[in-house]
Amino acid sequence: MSESNKPLNFIAQIIQQELAEGRCTQVVTRFPPEPNGYLHIGHAKSICLNFGLAESFGGRCNLRFDDTNPAKEEKEYVEAIKRDVEWLGYTWDQECYASDYFQQLYDWAVELIKKGKAYVDSQSSEEMASQKGTPTQAGTDSPHRTRSVEENLRLFEDMKNGKYKEGEHVLRAKIDMASPNMLMRDPVMYRILHRAHHRTNTDWCIYPLYDWTHGESDYLEQVSHSLCTLEFLPHRELYDWFLDQLVSKDRLRPKQREFARRNLSHTLVSKRKLLQLVEQKVVDGWDDPRMPTISGMRRRGYPPKAIKNFADAIGIAKRDNVVDLSLLEFHVREQLNKTAPRVMAVLSPLKVVITNYQEGKEEWLEAENNPEDESAGFRKVPFSRELYIEEDDFREEANRKFFRLKLGGEVRLKNGYIIKAESCTKDSKGNVLEVQCTYDPKSKSGSGTEESLRKVKGTLHWVSIPHAFEAEVRLYDRLFSDPTPDAHKDRDFMEFINPDSLQKITAFLEPGLKEAKVGEQFQFQRMGYFNVDTDSTPGNPIFNRTVGLRDTWAKLDQKE
RNA sequence: UGGCCUAUGGUGUAAUUGGCAACACUACUGAUUUUGGUUCAGUCAUUCUAGGUUCGAGUCCUAGUAGGCCAACCA
């Protein structure tokens, strides 16, 4: 691969070293989502990391659903997650479910009880919390901590057999109520939950908790490197303690490694807050193109390769970070620039009449589909006496920096002729309604004449009015105006919602676009990249702005 | 206040493990351009602070400072 000489991130370095030292012979990773919601850009990073690492070391990566909480999980999410991972272009080795290990986990728990390493506690969660102590103060032992093995076994079995109500008992690991690590103060391993599970239905009424599931699942799947975000770092001690109780020396012992979660500017990723946006109809649903969900980015038109390259570019480390959205947008443009056919679309029309162009005449001009890709070929676009150009592309008068059309000035119509603005008509408020131009018949693009080779500073896109095709275009912008909308202590993230994050307009497009199919992507020249939204119907495409083009003029203009 | 983690341009990561601080994005110049796009060339750093070790420190030592994480029968 061309990336072989790229410096390794710290996790890849660890893997390389452990491979060399023989701790493991093959790299096995896993992507372990809980099926309780939709995947977002943060998950995408984790997917790229886990699958990417396995790929580059010739190993494999499992997709594992961490489904130990039936109160929150649904099959619908399992399907959505699989769709998103596939869309990113990854193929998992095994499709696993923590729920497949419930029996094994139960058996191991019984063993722990027999070894005196776990006990049934019968206090309320409030009582247990009050005994937990604080980070600076040791906890106190539960009165049930000294129950006999026999009593614990009987109670645990009765828990499993549904003899108790929720909250009556829990199974706890017997570790150390004075540990400086709060997680080691006799953590709960099982709770009673009389709930149907999306896969095991009512087979179980006790469910294992995260800590008593994750490492064990890793062990059962013989995962060599269990990667997670930094907030799980304190869990590592417990992860190892549980494994200590059950690993056999001849099998691979998984290791947990932590990396810092990536924060993307101008967005947030908290499930609760995203849900709020959906419920309060700030957005159109979980796959709204403004959402940071994978399904939202897909609908927005972000290519999977762009997301992968982005994930790769931001790297991996252990410090707090906020990655600028513009880096993601750069990778989106980088992909689309190579692949998206160029077309002409006028988003905000201004009528131009070419007074010396014969009335009723039409010409079909040759237009290049993609200057970045010769194999993309050419197409024909209709030209006539009456055209639309972009409102912003005309000013009655302007300084030298304005390369576009102004009275007495010349400009080239892309793929067409050089025109000169002679006059304009305005309404009573002074708004320009129409621009009258003359054209140079000899300046036709590609004709090879001296006039056609003449340089004019500006080139405008345009659409022939009689041929134009009207379509709905949705102009999306960032959802939040603040780089870190949910990092303000005294201000709610809802205050930072960008009121202009969506603008629906009717645009005028070259006629060929009428046949555009859902998912197809285009560059509207000088405007941005657009894709056909899933709301479209045949013959009535709706276009989403995926991302604008870099616009140095907009910046220049703003400074004035 | 206990334990743990972290600190390198505006942003995100590198630095052959003690040897000229590099890459990408952003921003700004300029060139090219029938997209103010693309492409090309260039500009932007007292490596958190203060001491110390060393011929030599982003890297090692000491003391600070700042930020983050940890007390769910969530994951």
pLDDT digits (tens, 9 = 90+) for A367-423: 999 999 989 999 999 999 999 999 999 999 998 899 999 999 999 999 999 999 999
pLDDT at A489: 83
pLDDT at A5: 62
- Judge contact between A83 and A290, C-beta under 8 A: no
What's the rounded mean pLDDT across residues A423-435?
96
Per-residue pLDDT band for A50 (boundaries 50, 70, 90) equals very high
A487 touches strand B (CB under 7 A): no
How many whole angstroms separate alpha carbon A46 and alpha carbon A313?
A: 13
CA distances from A405 to A61, A205, A399, A400, A425 (A): 57, 73, 11, 11, 15
pLDDT digits (tens, 9 = 90+) for A165-194: 999 999 999 999 999 999 999 999 999 999
Q: Which nucleotide is nearest to A338 (CA to C1')?
A: B38
pLDDT digits (tens, 9 = 90+) for A298-340: 999 999 999 999 999 999 999 999 999 999 999 999 999 999 9
What dihedral angle (degrees, nearest 10) is formed by the CA atoms of A110, A112, A113, A115? 130
Q: Is the pLDDT of residue A349 over 50?
A: yes
Which structure tokens are listed for A9? 């991130």
Looking at every residue in chain A, the average pLDDT score rounds to: 96
How many whole angstroms separate alpha carbon A497 and alpha carbon A480?
A: 4
pLDDT digits (tens, 9 = 90+) for A482-539: 999 999 888 899 999 999 999 999 999 999 999 999 999 999 999 999 999 999 999 9
φ, ψ for residue A465 (rounded to 5)?
-60, -50
pLDDT digits (tens, 9 = 90+) for A228-277: 999 999 999 999 999 999 999 999 999 999 999 999 999 999 999 999 99
Per the annotation, the verdict on A397 as an active-site residue is: no
A366 touches strand B (CB under 7 A): no
The single residue of A75, A115, A163, A271 carrying the catalytic annotation is A271
Q: Is the pLDDT of residue A2 over 50?
A: no
Per the annotation, the verdict on A261 as an active-site residue is: yes
Give the burial string for A190-200 (b: 16+ CB within 10 Å, else e): bbbbebebbbb
Please list, in sequence order, all residues whose beta carbon lies within 8 angstroms of the beta carbon of residue A372, skipping any fewer than 6 positions away: A337, A338
Distance A527 CA to B9 C1' (A): 32
pLDDT at A558: 78
Q: Is the pLDDT of residue A46 over 60?
A: yes
pLDDT at A333: 98
Per the annotation, the verdict on A329 as an active-site residue is: no
How many whole angstroms separate alpha carbon A280 and alpha carbon A292?
A: 17
User: Residue A502 pairs with which residues in a beta bridge?
Assistant: A476
The whole model's pTM is what?
A: 0.95
pLDDT at A327: 97
Per-residue pLDDT band for A6 (boundaries 50, 70, 90) equals confident
A260 touches strand B (CB under 7 A): yes
Q: Which nucleotide is nearest to A452 (CA to C1')?
A: B34
pLDDT digits (tens, 9 = 90+) for A204-219: 999 999 999 999 999 9
